[in-house]
Amino acid sequence: MTADQLHSIPALLARNVASFGDKPAYREKEFGIWQSWTWTQAAAEIDALAAGLLTLGAVPDDHIAIVGRNRPALYWAMVAAQRIGCVPVPMYSDAAAEEMAYALDHCGARFAVVSDQEQVDKIADIREGLTELEHIIYLDGRGLRKYDHGAMTSYGDVQAAGRAAELSVRLDELSAARGYDDTCVMLYTSGTTGRPKGVVLSNRNVIETSKNSSDFDGLRVGEEVLAYLPMAWVGDFIFSIGQSMWTGFCVNCPESEATMMTDLREIGPTYYFAPPRVFETQLTQVMIRMEDAGRVKKWLFDHFMAVAHRVGPDLLDGKPVGGLYRLRYALGNLFVFGPLKNTLGLSRVRVGYTAGEAIGPEIFDFYRSLGINLKQLYGQTEATVFITQQPDGEVRSDTVGVPSPGVELKIAENGEVFYRSPGTFMSYYKNPESTASTKDTEGWVATGDAGFIEEGSGHLRIIDRAKDVGQMVDGRLFAPKYVENKLKFYPNILEAVVFGAGREYCTAFINIDLTAVGNWAERNNIAYSSYQELSQHPQVLGQIEAHVSEVNTSVASDPMLAGCQIHRFLVLHKELDADDGEMTRTRKVRRAVIADKFSDLIAALYSDATDVYTETEVTYEDGRKGQITATLDLRDAVVAAEQVAA
Amino acid sequence: MKDSYITPDGRTIGGVLMDMRGITLRFGGVEAIKNISFDIREGEIRAIIGPNGAGKSSMLNVISGFYHPQDGEVWFRGAKRPTMRPYDVARQGIARTFQNIALFEGMSVLDNIMCGRLTHMKTGIFSQAIWHGAAQREEVENREAVERIIDFLEIQAIRKTPVGRLPYGLKKRVELARALAAEPKLLLLDEPMAGMNVEEKEDMSRFILDVNDEFGTTIALIEHDMGVVMDLSDRVVVMDYGRKIGDGTPDEVRGNQEVIDAYLGVAHD
């Protein structure tokens, strides 16, 4: 098959079977052992399921919902759907029933392939309202024996029916009927505002983007990736299906969510993506463990990390470094960096990416100084991930890189970033108004982010969400995320939300990081019985106050954003949580929801009060609601003198 | 009662698996159990409830063969059980968990659960030390059985963690895993949910139901949380001061005046 015939995922699969049929395509750790499937075996599994779906009555263009954690069988379900001309719609498996109901209803899925009883129960709760949903296919039958199997079949049984039906000719016909501009997949955006939108991506979008991005970093067969990010997220679809199918590399699925770190270490991926939060958490854990380490180890760590900070990034970028430092770095690699990278599971990473949020410069430098080629990219679902990315040798923490191959950028007058690329989405499903307002007739798409292209380097820098950038009452620029990111770079601050649009001064809500602060409390013999109590501990508040004041000093040095210094703040009594609607499932804060829900706290921050009593409704993981009450301290931070522009 | 029947939720309850006939247990002058009879049927979840000191744990210890009653007979799978050592009882297919966790704290979760396979291992200490042939095969087979239980109870992440480092709720789950590893016909759970928070209780309830459903294991459990007992069990025995004061389905027991009095207290005349 020639390259210009590779116009669908099933076509790529067939090519992989022909080119490297005996190479591993999927691995999954189960019963404590890594089980693997070659491309040939995987294709057989996919065909069996695809034929099984046909026997259940699936017809081309049906939507097939896929719900569950990353497992080879669910990836196969996506490809099986494409094999028979259907559209896979992966969904967030941790979404509450009503969130899932919206997406299932909106896409009108006739079939749902789900992981286990938890998901089956969730769908059962909402089934009344879902007129289109006909059949559920479940992977793990545990606890489902007693359920009514009238409209429910196990994955294995569907495959068995498919194998018995012998439909391979029909499968090939259906696959061949799909063109380059037919729908490949539909993905729901998490939506920081309003309802999630179904982003329709074509085969062209996915395959062109996979090809370009694989070429950009020289990805090839033999690469190892760990598939642990939500399957509903566009990034996972591109990494684990798009790029994997294009290049033929192996996708490894962890045993369970909780074992991800162990599995990462065992697999040792060569190509790795993680959101900044994962890197932050890992770094926090390393630092906590080093605090508890013996003196010799601590000294070695501190000594060689200093060397690494000095020359590590330069070595990685191939810049000249003196011989003595090279030797010291090599020793450090032997004693500290090598073992540390091994513990983190990052020994073999050749290409590492982070995106989604700004990453703290210290965190970014930490990994790069260890010799891990961590880079940043900027993208979104509507672009099939890639808008900009950092080429090797041009990596910095404050930019998101140069336009990806085939991507054009322009900056609107208000600072909003627009792009046009082969990955530009086709439309929002059943939502022509939103499609029209996001993508113009020439194919330019508004990102919703404000940024600018740096002169000289050509790198894109993102300041904030365009709609969040506002003005203070005196007309000065208000960019909350800029300040929040600076705050979040402190290990003991998990989340921050800054208010100030249309106000005289800025205030902030802060979430402590229970891991970091909890460990600090343990080491200092500070007793606490709950998150709430720890969050209001005077010493914790004191530390946070110091951090806020430091951030103010740093903010004051930027003439454009000096107005964003935080005058008053409080530490929240609960963690902001997606179950309460305060964050998206990808952990972005929903400002409007928070401002509305905690309006009493904001009012108190803009008053003279020194503390405030509040009652908050919380939602538990199983959907039940409860109330928590707290009295929160309101603190003033030190505001730095602004540098007057000369 | 019929010999076997199908529950409203579609499980088959078989004939009598264990029959306790007129059990009386004394510790010196104290009569912990006074002439109690009840049966446990194949495939059911049978709860024993009662206020503190009612004799529930003693009853469980009689079933598990740890205590030998002064009067009465224990019939198991159609035969009268002679006085036995606890390991004989284990061989017969009865496994249990303990009210105050009894795991090997210094050993890993995996090793603890492997202990539960002891009755399934036949090779001797020497061939196991040499680790060759039959011993090796046996270890692989048993490890696979253990891994299936680890998967079932979703404790993969702590497989290699020493038990002493685990929180209480997880220890309880490991204990259940060890009991399950023996592939028991009858599983005895002594307060499986004591000291757990709501979420842990929900998880544990789910696991108990799944064990019963998936492996068809008969379960006898002692529990204080009435909500849990009423939701989980097919039939309930209620004890008070060593006597049986009620026996029947959760609904029957709930309506029994004597039971209500025992739990809520009753005014003394």
**DSSP class per residue in A500-554:** -TTSSSEEEEEEE-HHHHHHHHHHTT---SSHHHHHT-HHHHHHHHHHHHHHHHH
A404 pLDDT tier (thresholds 50, 70, 90): very high
- E strand spans, A94-210: 111-114, 135-138, 152-154, 183-188, 198-202
Over 90: is that where the pLDDT of A5 sits? no
Is B121 in the same domain as B34? Answer: no
The Cα–Cα gap between B125 and B138 comes to 13
Question: What's the rounded mean pLDDT across residues A469-485?
Answer: 85
Question: What's the predicted TM-score (pTM) here?
Answer: 0.84
Cβ contacts (< 8 Å) between A259 and chain B: which residues?
156-157
Choosing from B150, B183, B216, the residue where a domain stops is B183
Is B159 in the same domain as B235? Answer: no
Could you give the ipTM of this predicted complex?
Answer: 0.81
Instruction: Give residue A193's pLDDT.
Output: 59
Instruction: Give residue A95's pLDDT.
Output: 85
Count contacts between A and B (CB, < 8 Å): 41
Over 60: is that where the pLDDT of A347 sits? yes
> What residue ranges of chain B have pLDDT lower than 70?
1-3, 266-269
For chain B, list residues whose CB is within 8 angstroms of any CB belonging to chain A. 9-11, 143-144, 147-148, 150-152, 154, 156-157, 159, 199, 202, 206, 209-210, 213-214
Residue of B nearest to A141 (CA): B214
Choosing from B127, B156, B183, the residue where a domain stops is B183
Highest mean pLDDT among A77-81, A165-169, A481-485: A77-81
User: Residue A534 burial (CB < 10 Å; 0-12/13-18/19+)?
Assistant: buried
Shortest distance between the Cα of A11 and any Cα of chain B, in A, equals 35
Token pair recorded at residue A352 = 């590492």
Shortest distance between the Cα of B11 and any Cα of chain A, in A, equals 7
Residue of B nearest to A33 (CA): B147
**Looking at this protein, which amino acid is placed at residue A357?**
E
Report which of residues A358 and A307 the model is more confident about: A307
Strand A635-636 with A625-633, pairing? unpaired
Instruction: Give residue A644's pLDDT.
Output: 53
Instruction: Give residue A558's pLDDT.
Output: 74
Contact A4, A208 (CB under 8 A): no
Asked, for residue B99, whether it belongs to a domain, the answer is: no
Is B219 in the same domain as B88? Answer: yes
By three-state DSSP, how is residue A368 classified?
helix
From residue B10, alpha-carbon distances to A131, A150, B13 in Å are 27, 15, 9
Count the domains in chain B.
2
Residue of A nearest to B145 (CA): A31
Question: What's the rounded mean pLDDT across residues A386-400?
Answer: 91
Lowest mean pLDDT among A60-74, A113-127, A193-207, A547-561: A547-561
Choosing from B183, B215, B237, the residue where a domain stops is B183
A645 pLDDT tier (thresholds 50, 70, 90): very low
Nearest CB partner across the interface for B214, out of A33, A142, A262: A142
Place of tokens 């263009």: A61
Place of tokens 């490297």: A20
Over 80: is that where the pLDDT of A90 sits? yes
Is B179 in the same domain as B199? Answer: no
Token pair recorded at residue A643 = 């540098």
Instruction: Give residue B29's pLDDT.
Output: 87
Contact A517, A614 (CB under 8 A): no
Asked, for residue B28, whether it belongs to a domain, the answer is: yes
Nearest CB partner across the interface for A146, out of B143, B148, B213: B213
Is B3 in the same domain as B85? Answer: yes
Range of the domain at B64: 1-93+184-269
Q: Mean pLDDT for chain A?
A: 91
Place of tokens 């740890």: B66
Q: Do B9 and A146 touch (CB under 8 A)?
A: yes
Place of tokens 């770079």: A489
Summarize pLDDT for A151-164 with one digit per residue, the tens. 999 999 999 999 99
Token pair recorded at residue B88 = 């004989």
Of B50, B55, B52, which is closest to residue B35 (Cα–Cα)? B55
Is B134 in the same domain as B255? Answer: no
Cβ neighbours around A552 below 10 Å, total: 24
Summarize pLDDT for B66-92 with one digit per residue, the tens. 899 999 999 998 888 888 888 888 888
Asked, for residue B98, whether it belongs to a domain, the answer is: no
Shortest distance between the Cα of A143 and any Cα of chain B, in A, equals 5
Nearest CB partner across the interface for B10, out of A31, A32, A146: A146
Is B144 in the same domain as B193? Answer: no
Is B245 in the same domain as B212? Answer: yes
Is B163 in the same domain as B189? Answer: no
Is B70 in the same domain as B200? Answer: yes
A143 pLDDT tier (thresholds 50, 70, 90): confident
Q: Which residues are A416's β-sheet partners?
A: A450
Residue of A nearest to B148 (CA): A31
A192 pLDDT tier (thresholds 50, 70, 90): low
Cβ neighbours around A638 below 10 Å, total: 14
Q: Do B148 and A256 touch (CB under 8 A)?
A: no
Q: Do A143 and B159 touch (CB under 8 A)?
A: no
Of A496, A578, A574, A489, which is closest to residue A534 (Cα–Cα)? A574
Residue of B nearest to A623 (CA): B199
Summarize pLDDT for B47-61 with one digit per residue, the tens. 999 888 888 999 999
The Cα–Cα gap between A475 and B141 comes to 73
Q: Do A262 and B157 touch (CB under 8 A)?
A: yes
Backbone torsions φ then ψ of A453, nearest 5 degrees: -95, 125
Is B87 in the same domain as B116? Answer: no
User: For residue A164, what are the contacts with CB-CB under 8 A and spacing of at least 6?
Assistant: none
Asked, for residue B188, whether it belongs to a domain, the answer is: yes
Q: Do B210 and A143 touch (CB under 8 A)?
A: yes
Instruction: Give residue B13's pLDDT.
Output: 85
Over 80: is that where the pLDDT of A622 sits? no
Residue of A nearest to B9 (CA): A146
Instruction: Give residue A451's pLDDT.
Output: 86
Q: Do A259 and B144 touch (CB under 8 A)?
A: no
CATH of the domain at B249: 3.40.50.300
Is B146 in the same domain as B113? Answer: yes
User: What are the structural domains of chain A?
Assistant: 3-257 (3.40.50.12780), 274-372 (no CATH), 376-466 (2.30.38.10), 470-636 (3.30.300.30)
Cβ neighbours around A299 below 10 Å, total: 11
> Angle at Cα A382 formed by Cα A208 and Cα A411, nearest 5°?
100
Question: What's the rounded mean pLDDT across residues A55-76?
Answer: 96
Contact B163, B109 (CB under 8 A): yes
Instruction: Give residue A448's pLDDT.
Output: 87
